[in-house]
Amino acid sequence: MPQLSNLYLFLYNSLQSIGWALALFRVLSSFVLTKSTHEAYASAGELICYLQTAEFLEVIHGAIGLVPSGALLPLMQWSGRTHFLLAIVRGITEVQELPSVFITFVAWSLSEIIRYPQYALSCLGHCPSWITYLRYTAFIFLYPIGMAPGEMWLMYQALPYIKEKHLYGDSLLGLPISYYNFVQVLLLCYPFLWLKLYLHLFKQRKWKLSKQHEKKKKM
């Protein structure tokens, strides 16, 4: 069973690595060809939607103990990104050409083409120390870039369109709150929810790099 689970995780992480590398290639290729950030969603949006939706498997992996991450933090990250991507970017065509989409896609893609290969190689037990270091260091600047000028700024820019289109009606999941008001509240809460994930990654970084350092000393 451990061998089968490792094989499954290796295949999952490898496929995600390939998918996000392709997404980044498409986004940057369109930028080079058009000299514009406007085509980011047109070039890779649907692919990124599929990749991000598939990441729900990581919540399941944590919930059933396949990986030690648990389910809560992966669920917070997955739900935040998926809502942003499917409900706002995919749902509002007027925001798809904004620079914030390009910034978000590049930041996400760079993060994932570092994270997933590190996971995949760790499943094999042969992950170079520099990849582990990069995995637990690159997030320090990639996550804030994806969050502030990317996700939060785009949600703010989307508010007039949400209000104008009366998007998703006057109630959300049966609650007496409009989607417009929900996004306003979400924007207020977003930095605090994001900070919880960000600080958790610093704890992970300290633990992983100290563990790696101890392993080198023993060698």
In the set 143, 179, 180, 190, the catalytic residue is 143
User: Is residue 168 among the annotated active site residues?
Assistant: no
- Please state, in angstroms and rounded to a whole number, the distance separating the CA atoms of residues 44 and 67: 29
- Please state, in angstroms and rounded to a whole number, the distance separating the CA atoms of residues 49 and 134: 25
Residue 53, token pair as written in the block: 């939706």
User: Is residue 39 among the annotated active site residues?
Assistant: no
Residue 167, token pair as written in the block: 């998007």
The phi and psi torsions of 94 (rounded to 5 degrees) equal -65, -25
Is-contact 92 167, C-beta < 8 A?
A: yes
107, 119, 50: which is closest to 82 by C-alpha?
50
Task: State the virtual CA torsion across 122, 124, 128, 131 in degrees, nearest 10.
Answer: -40
Q: Beta strands of the chain (E only): which ranges? A: none
Is-contact 183 162, C-beta < 8 A?
A: yes
In the set 39, 58, 112, 151, the catalytic residue is 151
The phi and psi torsions of 172 (rounded to 5 degrees) equal -125, 115
119, 136, 141: which is closest to 20 by C-alpha?
119
Residues acting as catalytic residues:
143, 151
